[in-house]
Amino acid sequence: MSCLLCGSARVARRRTVAGHPYALCAGCRVWRLDGAAGDVPPRTAGTGHEQRVRMLGRTVAELEAWAAPGRLLDVGSGPGHLLEAARRRGWDVVGLEPDPSSAESSRALFGIDPAAREWRAGAVEDGSFDAVVLHHVLEHLPDPPAALEAARRALRPGGVLHVAVPNARTVDRLLDRGSTEEIFDPPRHLWVFSDRTLPPLVRRAGLDVVRSRPQVSNALGRFVSSDGASGPAGGGRGGQSLRARALRAAAGVARTVAPGSAVRLFALRPQERA
Ligand SMILES: [Zn+2]
């Protein structure tokens, strides 16, 4: 079977995670589920809704470095935490969620009613969103290049895409064997990307990657305050304290030597040439 992402038929490595076979593509170095996906219900969010909304509010704030609050589309919006976070910050939000029980949670928790549509080009009007979010969604979709192409089309020129995925390269895997199962989450995750393999895939979909980095490792995060160190890079540089700059530098080093459990990427739909 040749790779849907790059066309290579060569496999560099194979591994089994919790009884499910995965293959590492020799071409693009992305792990793929090498067997039947099966019909597995998505994980449901537990408690701590307010905390989750606040955490995702920081993600929305980060993407506002490239787009002022306007129309935001969350693909695979699940129980609606990110939509609620964006709404509180003044965004006009639209969610797509094909899973009925997740959509029901979204209505019950936040009064947000997502559309039950699958994600594909033409699912929403072209160029109609200032921001599109694929938050821990791309790894579940059978055709990631098509999903990214659909995201590009949904954005207005200059609009911002945010993608977050588990990171196959995370140091957490060395520190904690249980985290491998979390990252591959078989058979829910059809693909396992990394901080190295996600950016080229997004570029091939015709988007300009403006920021892509792993989170600070959970293990190292205890030593490096990621709060002060992972805010938007733009603006306010002159007013930054020495301590904030030191923390930011330390977090950068930590991400490089010990990448965290997820990759966070931001990309823009290029402006059309006049
Ligand atoms: Zn490949």
Q: Give the distance (Å) from ligand 1 centre to CA of residue 28.
A: 4
Q: Select the more confidently predicted residue: 259 or 158.
A: 158
Q: How confident is the model at residue 128 (pLDDT cuts 50, 70, 90)?
A: very high
pLDDT at 134 over 70: yes
Q: Give the distance (Å) from ligand 1 centre to CA of residue 26.
A: 7
Instruction: Give the mean model confidence (pLDDT) for residues 128-147.
Output: 97
Cα–Cα distances in Å, from 252 out to 65, 147, 149, 186, 221? 19, 30, 30, 30, 12
- Across the chain, mean pLDDT equals 87
The whole-angstrom separation of Cα 107 and Cα 123 is 21
What is the value of pTM for the model shown?
0.85
Least confident of 29-33, 126-130, 176-180: 176-180
Chain segment 154-203, per-residue pLDDT in tens: 999 999 999 999 998 876 666 566 678 888 888 889 999 999 999 999 99
pLDDT at 226 over 70: no
pLDDT at 223 over 90: no
Q: Give the distance (Å) from ligand 1 centre to CA of residue 81.
A: 33
Q: Give the distance (Å) from ligand 1 centre to CA of residue 87.
A: 37
Q: Give the distance (Å) from ligand 1 centre to CA of residue 167.
A: 16
Helix ranges (DSSP H) in the chain: 49-63, 81-88, 100-110, 144-154, 172-175, 178-184, 198-204, 218-221, 226-229, 242-257
Report pLDDT for 235. 42
Smallest CA-to-CA distance from 29 within 47, 6, 52, 46 is with 6
Q: Which two tokens stand for residue 63?
A: 């993407």
User: Residues, the chain, total?
Assistant: 274
Smallest CA-to-CA distance from 158 within 193, 127, 181 is with 127
